[in-house]
Amino acid sequence: MKVEYLNGTGNKYVINNEDNFVEYIPIKKDYSSSGFYDGGEYIKKEINKSQFNKIMSIFKVLEGKKEVHIQNRVKKSGMIIIKDKHEVSTFIIAPDTAELNEVEKLLQDFIKNK
């Protein structure tokens, strides 16, 4: 299973339980909408099964929480793509929601501290 999360500025997180890693792929200023924003340095860290399950449990709850989903990707929204064998689930979380803030904090903690 693999999960991709694109935050509101276009930075991408990839969480993969087959290879046991979380990866942060920052947007570079040449590709940002402003032309000035730079997401920083690329980071790839190992995670264990427990850490993966924690991330997945939050994403699965969000997948079912339709009241925070929006139809179109806008600035500050978060897009989640869950890939499981032959199934793909994609949804967008509205900006400025507690749920989106929780996802951001969790992923930043994994990248910076784990």
pLDDT in tens, 49-62: 888 888 888 998 99
Report the pLDDT value the prediction gives residue 112, as an integer from 0 to 100.
80
Q: Which two tokens stand for residue 43?
A: 């980071």
The CA-CA-CA angle for residues 58, 43, 20, to 5°, reads 55
d(CA 37, CA 18): 32
- Could you read off the pLDDT of 82-101 as tens digits, one per residue? 998 889 999 999 999 999 99
Beta bridge partners of 2: 16, 83
Model pTM score: 0.88
The strand pair at 87-93 and 12-16 is best described as unpaired
d(CA 88, CA 73): 17
In percent, the amount of the chain with pLDDT more than 90 equals 49
